[in-house]
Amino acid sequence: MIALAGTIGAGKTSLTKLLADHLHSQAFYESVDDNKILPLFYKNPKKYGFLLQIYFLNKRIDEIKESYSNDLNVLDRSIFEDALLFKLNADMGRATQTESDIYSSLLANMMEELPEQPHQKAPNLLITIQVSFDTMLKRIKKRGRSYEQIANDPSLYNYYKNLNERYQEWYKQYDQSPKMLIDGDEYDFVEDPHAAKKVLQMIDQKLVDLNLK
């Protein structure tokens, strides 16, 4: 399987669709629009942060299992990012350290319960999309989810800024599988068909290098 990673507004959903169509495989999308907990989290992160992470963990484990059905299925978020997100919430006082520790332990235990080879727990390839903070903010504003807007909650500015910075460090430290980095500012595959074509070519070459295609 291929898993995408990146901050809010990086373009994971767009690239997931492009890549799954390109590879004639299946796309698995993060549950957002039908997620009743997410808007509650933005209103009261301390109350709903832990519940939201458990919701996502349950969904992602199911997606990993389902992705075994076909080679090179594409997941629009990696389960390995979740600890980063919840740790940030704990550091910013939006969740407790105890909740963060319990979540990390639960994640490790659930990963242990996934089937062993021939199925693997990490993706064959992790593709991280990196965008500037300005690009991140523009895309969040453009997609228009009210609970994500800084205009409605100015405290989100620092949350988004910290999140974007931590993703850069997270990618450097990630070592669970082969990985590659896409510069979402240089290659605006969301808006530019030529950039999308180039990104798909880059991914194709990486898959060939890894003997996956």
Binding site membership for ATP: which residues? 6-14, 139-143
Structure tokens at 142: 């453009």
Sign of CA dihedral 201, 16, 192, 38: negative
**Options 33, 71, 76, 192, the catalytic residue:** 76
Note if 153 is an active site residue.
no
Q: Name which of 30, 26, 123 is nearest 74 in CA terms.
A: 26
**Which ranges in 92-185 belong to alpha helices (H)?**
97-113, 133-143, 156-173
Give the separation between CA 55 and CA 51, rounded to whole angstroms: 6
Burial 129-163 (b: 16+ CB within 10 A, else e): bbbeeebbbebbeeeeeeebeeeeeeebeebbeeb
> Are 126 and 5 in contact, with CB atoms under 8 Å apart?
yes
Known catalytic residues are 76
